[in-house]
Structure 1
Amino acid sequence: MRFGPVPLKDAEGAILAHSLQGASRKIAKGTVLNAKDIEDLAAAGHETLTVARLDPADMHEDAAAEALAHALVPDPAAQGIRISGAGTGRVNLYADRAGLVRLDRDKLEAVNAVDPMITVATVPDFHRADAGGMLATIKIISYGVPVDAIRRASDGAADAMRVLPPVFSSATLIETAVTEDTPPDKGRAAMAGRLHRMGLSLSERTVVPHREAELAEAIANAPGQLLLVLTGSATSDSHDVAPQALRSAGGTVTRFGMPVDPGNLLFLGTFHGKPVIGLPGCARSPALNGADWVLERVICGISVSARDIAAMGVGGLLKEIPTRPMPRRDAEG
């Protein structure tokens, strides 16, 4: 691509680099100039224009962005992604369904390493996507790039991103009460919101006393495909009431505690093939917490190991909640 000033008379067929006011209208940058444009600019007194002129081996910015988008998303339906139209060298990718975004970092970094004019910016890996939410933007910075650069960027880029859909359709939330009073429904409302945006229904409310036997029975009888436990008293040990209740029911506990704050007091397990998540108290708030990261992965069929949870500590210091009973700074000695 050749870029720079040219006499007005030689600019027909070139791409206008900067918007200019003609005698009768404004001509936008990126316009491929025709004879009428040249006449209008001449009438306005312009004598020299800054333009871009593509060489035979170049591809126009819009065509280049579209080609790269289809290389990244060769099967939109299977990948759960919608490709937008192109404009000003940009194509956006949107989630076609709710789910969890998975990215192939190596493939995407390879695309961005080919040519500085070829760029792909994405949401983070494991980002929760709503249907219609933007996942990535592909931008060709210059007005054109070599066809060979787009070919090299496209090679091996297939399936570098996808949206994994939920694999469950229902969940049961079991709450425990430490007094005879029914707990406020704030926690259930927050969890219902999390589940509904991923397409899961929540079974009828289940509240049992905060005792191992009653909780074990509730776990055994829970109808949902995914079981959630929200205790009236915080779980402070792997042998506390809730983890022990899961074991008593015939389930297993695979992890207690996570290096994410808020969200430390989460536990994870299974009951007869059903995932079980013991929720930390912060799950009563709709604000992001460590339970969200585990819940979203489990809902979308991603196995979550103890090692996976341990790895969440890097980046696991989440936004402070002003209403915490003891904000982190107040706990400093």
Structure 2
Amino acid sequence: MLKVIPVEEAIGLPLAHDITEIVPGKHKGPAFRRGHVVQSEDISKLLDVGKAHIYVMELEKDELHEEDAARRLARAAAGPNIRLSDPVEGRVNLIAEAPGLLKVDEDRLRQFNALGDLILATAPSNRYVKKGEVLAGTRTIPVVVKEELVRRAETVCKEPIVTVVPIPPKRVHLIVTGSEVYTGRIKDGFGPVVRHKLSEMGTELESAKLAPDDPDTIAGHIKDSYQAGADLILVSGGMSVDPDDLTPEGIRRSGARVECHGFPVLPGSMFLMAYLKETPVLGLSGCVIHDPVTAFDILLPRLLAGEKISRSDIVSMGHGGLQRKHDH
């Protein structure tokens, strides 16, 4: 139970919750922490931050303070490879303990937030996260909540809502197509970009080959990579509609089954997803070279984590498929 008293009468009493101070453009954080015993010299600052009254708290047996509730909510929602922060201003963060693929159970998240008087906000699912990155935050809305509400949230979290799937090193092969690159007329632009993106996720490029605009040669390189045990085969260039863009045909001639050619993602609409038996074969269009975020960045962490990408997965990428830095 909370009792409201004027701040001038609070000297000698402990604060029931963190008191937030906001300095526009400079700072937002606790001016005083929960449990701080109010001193006479604190009164002026409390008034400055808009606190003419404070709470005095006496919890009933069936009640929880916001910090204790947030700890329980965070523990319930967090899956493997996640640690919890200490409460600050009533909020507990879920933090990546290891790099990997962030997975959010969106159905359970909706159920959690539909309970009322408590919230869980997460980063978008299916993206690569680094160790130490904040993945989600949870808190109650009131300072005091009924324990029964927290129990209901814990029931929703019988399976974790937020998890991090580790990405072990993978054997990735790249086949760069284009007669202009194969003959040395221009320098390959795909290799450096692909290597950089892979290295950021803890994986090195095992093999890189050049191929002319010849479907049979492209198909042969794909089959060679498959026989060599590649976990992921990337085939770049030649994905558009010009007469010399023969990479899709080369992928088909390798025996790979095409899941989808054409993604509802900009940039990246000309990508192709295929499987040679169980090995993913991803056709990359030229946007990978010059656009910072493309369909490649959306798919890569999922493929490295071992997920199988279906046509249904690709179709659903239209919501959020327009990347912010793509302006034409």
TM-score (norm 1): 0.80
Q: How does 1:204-243 map to 2 (within 5 A)?
A: 204-222=207-225, 223=228, 224-231=230-237, 233-236=238-241, 241-243=246-248
Change (3 A) 1:52 1:178: farther
What amino acid does structure 2 have at the position aligned with 1:136? A
Partner of 1:301: 306
**Cα deviation digits, residues 26-48 of structure 1 (max 9, x gap):** x94444254xx45666999x9x8
Paired with 2:294 and 2:116, the residues of 1 have a C-alpha distance of: 38
Q: Give the TM-score normalised by structure 2.
A: 0.81
Is the 1:253–1:269 Cα contact (8 Å) retained in structure 2?
Answer: yes
Distance 1:183 1:82, change over 3 A: farther
For the 8 Å contact 2:14–2:34, the answer to whether it is kept is no
What is the aligned partner in structure 1 of residue 59 from structure 2?
A: 55
Is residue 102 from structure 1 mapped to residue 103 from structure 2 by the alignment? yes
CA distance in 2, matches of 1:83, 1:174: 42
Q: In 1, are the aligned partners of 2:20 and 2:89 still within 8 Å (CA)?
A: no
Cα displacement string for residues 165-213 of structure 1 (whole angstroms, at most 9, x for unaligned residues): 2366120111013222164343222211221222221023311212112
Which one is further off, 202-211 or 106-115? 106-115
Counterpart residue identity of residue 216, structure 2: A
Aligned residues: 306
Stretches of 4+ aligned residues off by more than 6 angstroms: none
Task: Answer yes or no: is the 8 Å Cα contact 1:54–1:60 preserved in 2.
Answer: no
1:129, distance to aligned residue in structure 2 (A): 1.5
Contact 2:175–2:235 (Cα < 8 Å) also in 1: yes
* Conservation of the 8 A alpha-carbon contact between 2:2 and 2:58: yes
Counterpart of 1:287 (choices 288, 292, 298) is: 292
Q: Cα gap change, 1:252/1:108 in structure 2, threshold over 3 Å: closer, same or farther?
A: closer
How far residue 13 of structure 1 moved from its aligned partner, in angstroms, is 4.5
For 2:94, the equivalent position in structure 1 comes to 93
| 8 A contact 2:214–2:246 mirrored in 1 | yes
> Within 2, Cα distance between the matches of 1:42 and 1:305?
61
Cα distance in 2, alignment partners of residues 182 and 173 from structure 1: 20
1:85-164 alignment runs, 5 A limit: 85-116=86-117, 118-158=118-158, 159-164=160-165
- Structure 1 segments unaligned to the other structure (5+ residues): 21-26, 328-333
Q: Secondary structure of 2:318's partner?
A: coil
Asked whether the equivalents of residues 168 and 226 of structure 1 are also in contact (C-alpha less than 8 Å), the reply is no
Q: Given that residues 85 and 91 in structure 1 are in contact (C-alpha distance below 8 angstroms), is that contact kept between their aligned partners in structure 2?
A: yes
The unaligned stretches of length 5 or more in structure 2 are 22-29
Partner deviation per Cα, 1:86-121 (whole Å, 9 max, x = no partner): 2321211112222222212222222222232x2211
Contact 1:166 1:198 in 2 (8 A): yes
Task: Please state how far the C-alpha of 1:49 moved relative to its aligned partner.
Answer: 4.8
Once the two structures are superposed, what CA deviation does each residue of 1:253-308 show, in whole Å capped at 9, x if it has no partner?
Answer: 22211121111111111224311000111111361112322332222222211122
SS of 2:222's equivalent?
helix
